[in-house]
Amino acid sequence: MTIKREVFISVDIEASGPIPGEYSLLSIGACDAYRPENSFSCLVKPTSDNAVPEALAVTGLSLDKLQLEGKAPPDAMARFADWVSTCSGSGTPVFVGLNAGFDWSFINYYFIRYYGSNPFGIAALDIKALFMGARGCSWKETKSSNMKQVTGALTEGTHDALEDARFQAELFRRIRG
């Protein structure tokens, strides 16, 4: 059996609240974890008016502005799927996230609901879990600020989905080796 080359894709999202379906995916940022200049970024039209004010404050995004400037979810997910396909080529795309459970839940929901399938499949690689395994540390020690300090990462998170995806990619490379 031949194992296909794995292409690690760092993905970050910003959302209007804690769960897909009730709250909206607002932006997607992604990059090849080993070639972060190969990237994707997209603003997404909200699917509801539901929002946690703190979530919007952190991102600086506005539901009204996204209604005008964002891509409709089917278009956004088709564009993201095309980019994932181009980025991974003949390899297998692997979703990489920092607290992947949250980001993947929105990406998976939106891919299934608006595109019909998820090019990442049903699993995601979590950088926090990877760090715990590599360092033998507690969950509490997996804060991005601690990982940045321990790994010597040069970038940092900003709550811009693409910049955060690039930060995550750097953490992933430094942890994985």
Backbone torsions φ then ψ of 105, nearest 5 degrees: -60, -40
**Distance separating alpha carbons of residues 30 and 75, to the nearest angstrom:** 16
**Distance separating alpha carbons of residues 18 and 13, to the nearest angstrom:** 12
E strand residue ranges, the chain: 6-15, 25-32, 35-43, 92-97, 125-126
Amino acid at 168: Q
Amino acid at 48: S
DSSP 8-state assignment for residue 50: -
Edge-to-edge strands, sheet with 25-32: 35-43, 25-32, 6-15, 92-97, 125-126
Active site residues: 159
Separation of first and last alpha carbons in the chain = 26
Do residues 164 and 97 lie in contact, with contact meaning Cβ atoms separated by under 8 Å? no
